[in-house]
Amino acid sequence: MADPALVHVPIETHLGEFLAGFSDDGLAELNFPHRHPPQPTIIDNHKSLSSVKRCLLQILSGEHPKQFPKMDLSVGTEFQQAVWLEMLKIPMGQTLTYGEIADNLNNRGAVRAVGMACGANPIPVIIPCHR
């Protein structure tokens, strides 16, 4: 069942309909087309929708977003949040290994944990699991 604290707004793209989930603190999840949560609370609009849609469409077009929307990453642990914020720093067209991300976080032994954090990413595409 979908998180009742989130409201969801559909975002049409050339790849299909993404579903953005918003908390009071910002974008909290982004669901791929055909991977929507069961029974989401759907509304037509949200105050942050335009910035999320603009960012998503820029990324899907191969452009680096000029600005990221406000995001609520509170679903993750402190470590996961640090990994997700580090992944936002990866330039378009470049990649980092899990080990390099762990090094950037000054935690070389956390390579597997970085991989797990990537898998738990609630806002894929905008926070890339892989660039």
Question: Which are the catalytic amino acids?
Answer: 129
Q: Give the separation between CA 23 and CA 71, rounded to whole angstroms.
A: 9
Q: Give the separation between CA 48 and CA 62, rounded to whole angstroms.
A: 22
Q: Give the separation between CA 64 and CA 67, rounded to whole angstroms.
A: 9
Helix then strand then coil, in percent of the chain rounded to 5, is 30, 20, 50
Q: How many helices (H) and strands (E) does the chain have?
A: 4, 3
